[in-house]
């Protein structure tokens, strides 16, 4: 079963950094990108984590300009957003930013604490439609809290897994890093946790939300990306296929050849980062 949530619903600002913690964050968040600066920032981050003792922090994450309560002690993504947002996948951020339009449909599957959905919502404005999907109940609760701290009426949060069928699924998770939550087994030294969650197909989500097109899809579900994407691209009409795609790169866990499937469906790989592949659909 899922470990008890340690999320705190106190008003935003209750955990605003002060004193030494504020100075540590000022240092790590403004460290440069060369090797020595990054090394110093990571050392300072370790000091900050020990000082926090599992407490969250209320910050404005730059360059997202998003107000977020972050729990760095058991989520690697939140740890990076809090201490070193300037190092968070810059290629992914640039690709997503290039897709943003004032009236766009964005589906964020594996949305975590909500950072990418917030980035798109705050830049695109109220004319966008954003569906942020997160299966882990603790992360979903954090995302909803973060959405409420920002003026983002364009975002709808949904708590379910995304797979190849409408069913119940077992969600495995790493209690030391909740970003490692997946309906495919998560390997955790010393054991992990699991919980049963509802699972929906991407096609069902698109139909229920009334999407006639998806301008951008981000799919980051820890090795289960093929379960969500393969049936969508083989069974659904072309007009529903995402025009642009951010795909977490987990080929060793996929049963389907997603890269070959995307090639056959007219997608062009625009680039890649350490964690993601970036595609755009070629409709010519």
The predicted-structure confidence for 80-124, as pLDDT tens digits, reads as follows 999 999 998 899 999 999 999 999 999 999 999 999 999 999 999
pLDDT in tens, 212-228: 999 999 999 999 999 99
Other CB atoms closer than 10 Å to residue 149's CB: what's the count?
Answer: 18
Rounded to the nearest 10 degrees, the angle between the axes of helix 35-52 and helix 19-29 is 150
* E strand segments, 43-142: 57-61, 66-70, 105-109, 129-133
Kindly state the helix (H) or strand (E) to which residue 91 belongs, with its residue range: helix 90-99
Q: Where are the domains of the chain?
A: 19-83, 90-281
Burial label for 124, CB within 10 Å (0-12, 13-18, 19+), is buried
Question: pLDDT value at position 63?
Answer: 84
Q: What is the pTM of this model?
A: 0.94
Share of the chain above pLDDT 70, in %: 96
What is the number of alpha carbons within 13 Å of residue 261 lying toward its C-beta?
18
70: which residues sit within 8 A by CB, 6+ positions away? 56, 57, 59, 61, 78, 79, 81, 82, 113
Give the pLDDT band (50/70/90) at residue 1: very low
90-281 is classed CATH 3.40.50.720:
no
């Amino acid at each position: 079963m899922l470990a008890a949530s340690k999320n705190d619903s106190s008003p935003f600002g209750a955990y605003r950094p002060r004193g030494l913690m504020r100075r540590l964050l000022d240092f790590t968040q403004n460290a440069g990108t060369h090797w020595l600066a990054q090394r110093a920032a990571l050392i300072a981050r370790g000091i900050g984590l020990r000082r926090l003792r599992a407490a969250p922090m209320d910050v404005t994450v730059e360059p997202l300009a998003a107000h977020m309560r972050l729990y760095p002690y058991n989520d690697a993504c939140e740890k990076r957003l809090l201490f070193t947002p300037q190092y968070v996948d810059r290629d992914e951020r640039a690709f997503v930013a290039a897709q943003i339009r004032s009236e766009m449909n964005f589906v964020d599957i594996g949305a975590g604490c909500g950072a990418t959905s917030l980035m798109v919502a705050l830049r695109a404005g109220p004319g966008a439609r954003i569906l942020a999907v997160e299966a882990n109940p603790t992360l979903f609760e954090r995302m909803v809290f973060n959405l409420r701290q920002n003026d983002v009426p364009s975002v709808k949060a949904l708590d379910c897994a995304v797979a190849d069928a409408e069913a119940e699924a077992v969600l495995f998770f790493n209690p030391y890093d909740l970003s490692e939550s997946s309906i495919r087994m998560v390997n955790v030294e010393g054991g992990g946790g699991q919980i049963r969650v509802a699972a929906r197909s991407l096609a069902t989500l698109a139909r229920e939300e009334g999407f006639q097109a998806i301008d951008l899809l981000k799919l980051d579900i820890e090795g289960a990306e093929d379960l969500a994407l393969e049936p969508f691209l083989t069974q659904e009409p072309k007009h529903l296929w995402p025009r642009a795609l951010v795909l977490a790169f987990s080929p060793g866990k996929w049963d389907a050849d997603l890269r070959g499937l995307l090639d056959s469906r007219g997608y062009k790989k625009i680039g890649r980062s350490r964690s993601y592949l970036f595609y755009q659909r070629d409709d010519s």
